[in-house]
Copies of this chain bind each other. A is one copy, B any other.
Amino acid sequence: MAGAYSPRVVGRHEDEQRDGPAAASSGPSSGELAAIERLTRRLGPAPAAELWVGDDAAVVAPPHGPLLLAADSVVDGVHFSLRWSTWADVGWKAMAVNLSDIAAMGGLPHRSLVAVAGPEGTDLESLYDGILEAADRYACPVVGGDLTAAPTLVITVALTGGLAPGVPAPVRRSGARPGDLLAVTGPLGAAAAGLAALRRGEPDGAGVQAHRRPRPRVTEGTEAARAGATAMMDISDGTGLDLWRLTSASGVAAELDRLPVAEGADAEQAWSGGEDYELLMALPPDTLEPLRSALAELGLSSPLVIGRCTSGPPGRLILDGREMVPGGWEHRL
């Protein structure tokens, strides 16, 4: 259940025999209860009208505007490796990938639920260091969740979001029009370069922090929505693939002039590496300057224009005159 971090399941196995009075063990052990109590204390007190933990579900005040909902799991050995990331890094990342989904709609993160399924030895305290650091940084308090035993560590975060004042509506992927500029919130390929460095045994290599602690572009997203971005998404699977998705959904083609490559990364990593969590946005030309000014006032970098939308075949991507395939660096023709 959400509100209570219900211990109903920790340590109870479907295939285990539970006989006689010892069935009391269907409840949590004192160690598990203590862990849950420590976590609960760390979540902090709920505002007066809200109920965060200790009940079957959490009760919260709805956010402003329509309700945004996102949920993503991160899995040990698939999305992270504890060889390369600390427990706190993993907790941060589980939150960050979801926060980025809210950011990509131009939304404002609101509340989070965290379900942790993991084996014995899962360092919940350290995992929550990262989870709560991200929750705090992006003003998205953890209001409940679940803890359960599982052979593999799987962390699932579900987020609610709303709209910042002055943002008329969530920004979808499908609203780009021919003539809109295409821009990204920063240079690309850092996370892939960082992962490659970690694989080479270079823990201080370029991009390592981008891999371990991706930064969701929440403020950039709300400012772009306010300025009038017509389409937006986060770059999680690779710039090429995500460009293809946005342009396909919008029924436009893209002509790209350049691909800003992060320091220490190469063009291949920038095009197909993924996990950069920069935002990709379509901006009507007259929105670019207002957005630049708004971001500059907040001390944030200008979006980097990479090209423009055209009325070509939906999803066709041209870079420097060459047609690109979404996932890789090779030519289609």
Per the bound structure, the CA–CA distance linking A236 and B146 in Å amounts to: 13
Nearest chain B CB to A43 CB, angstrom units: 13
Nearest chain B CB to A159 CB, angstrom units: 8
Q: Is the CB of A156 within 8 A of B115?
A: yes
Q: Is the CB of B329 within 8 A of A21?
A: yes
The interface residues of chain B lying within 8 Å CB-to-CB of A159 are 57
Q: A6 and B62 in contact (CB under 8 A), knowing A117-B73, A154-B154?
A: no
Q: Is the CB of B66 within 8 A of A61?
A: yes
Nearest chain B CB to A257 CB, angstrom units: 22
A-B contact pairs, 19 of them (CB 8 A): A1-B70, A1-B101, A2-B71, A2-B101, A8-B237, A12-B78, A24-B272, A26-B237, A26-B238, A50-B66, A55-B173, A56-B104, A59-B170, A67-B67, A75-B150, A78-B148, A117-B156, A156-B156, A160-B160
The interface residues of chain B lying within 8 Å CB-to-CB of A234 are 1, 56
Nearest chain B CB to A322 CB, angstrom units: 14
Q: Is the CB of B156 within 8 A of A71?
A: yes
| Residue A197 is within 8 A (CB to CB) of chain B in the complex | no
- With both beta carbons as reference points, the residue of chain B lying nearest to A57 in the complex is identified as B70
Q: Is the CB of A330 within 8 A of B55?
A: no
Nearest chain B CB to A107 CB, angstrom units: 7
- With both beta carbons as reference points, the residue of chain B lying nearest to A146 in the complex is identified as B72
Per the bound structure, the CA–CA distance linking A192 and B276 in Å amounts to: 48
Q: A101 and B273 in contact (CB under 8 A), knowing A22-B328, A78-B9, A115-B72?
A: no
The interface residues of chain B lying within 8 Å CB-to-CB of A1 are 70, 72, 97-98, 101, 104, 234, 236
Contact with B along A69-92 (1 / 0, CB 8 A): 111110101111100000000000
The interface residues of chain B lying within 8 Å CB-to-CB of A309 are none
Q: Is the CB of B54 within 8 A of A58?
A: no
- With both beta carbons as reference points, the residue of chain B lying nearest to A107 in the complex is identified as B57
Q: Given known contacts A69-B111, A70-B144, what 9 new A-B pairs fall within 8 Å (CB)?
A: A2-B158, A8-B274, A23-B238, A50-B66, A55-B173, A59-B105, A61-B67, A77-B151, A151-B152
